[in-house]
Amino acid sequence: MKNGMARFGKNAALLAVIGALPVAAPGCGLWKKESAKPTAAKSAPPPAAETAKTNLVIAPATGPIGKVASVNAQAKFAVLSFPIGQVPRKETKLTIYRAGTKAGEIKITGPEQDTLTVGDIITGTAEAGDEVRVD
């Protein structure tokens, strides 16, 4: 029996060490992989601000944005539609945009009814569906 106990004691100690390895080993530097250091070829590209060659600034529209509802090209005026409560005042100058490009300018002359108002086309052209906004 004495021999059996000694053998069990040695095995128990070995089992305890082997059992503790999975718990202790992850914190050890032995099991960590070397992290790949970035090379010059894989470095991030410089920010766009550093490489830009233009002074283009895009800013959101701050005033009301409306649509051209109809146009009388001969008389050079257009009926404009705006969201409720956002119809611009008379004498306000607006820019006409077609597909994101400036197409002309218009000045609010009235009359105004609900969400509609009328404006005289100052420069360029207007077509139904164009966007109008204060710049």
pLDDT value of residue 104: 96
Distance CA 56, CA 48 (A): 12
Tokens 């994101």 belong to residue: 100
Which amino acid, residue 24?
A: A
> Considering the domain 65-133, what is its CATH architecture?
Beta Barrel (2.40)
Residue 118's CB is within 10 A of a number of other CB atoms, namely 19
Distance CA 61, CA 63 (A): 6
pLDDT in tens, the chain (135 residues): 455 555 555 565 555 656 655 655 555 555 555 555 555 555 666 665 555 566 766 666 677 899 999 999 999 999 999 999 999 999 999 999 999 899 999 999 989 999 999 999 999 999 999 999 988
pLDDT value of residue 45: 62
pLDDT value of residue 55: 72
Q: Sign of dihedral through CA atoms 24, 30, 33, 36?
A: positive
Query: What's the pTM value of the predicted model, to 2 decimals?
Result: 0.55
pLDDT value of residue 135: 80
pLDDT value of residue 62: 73
Tokens of 127: 């077509």
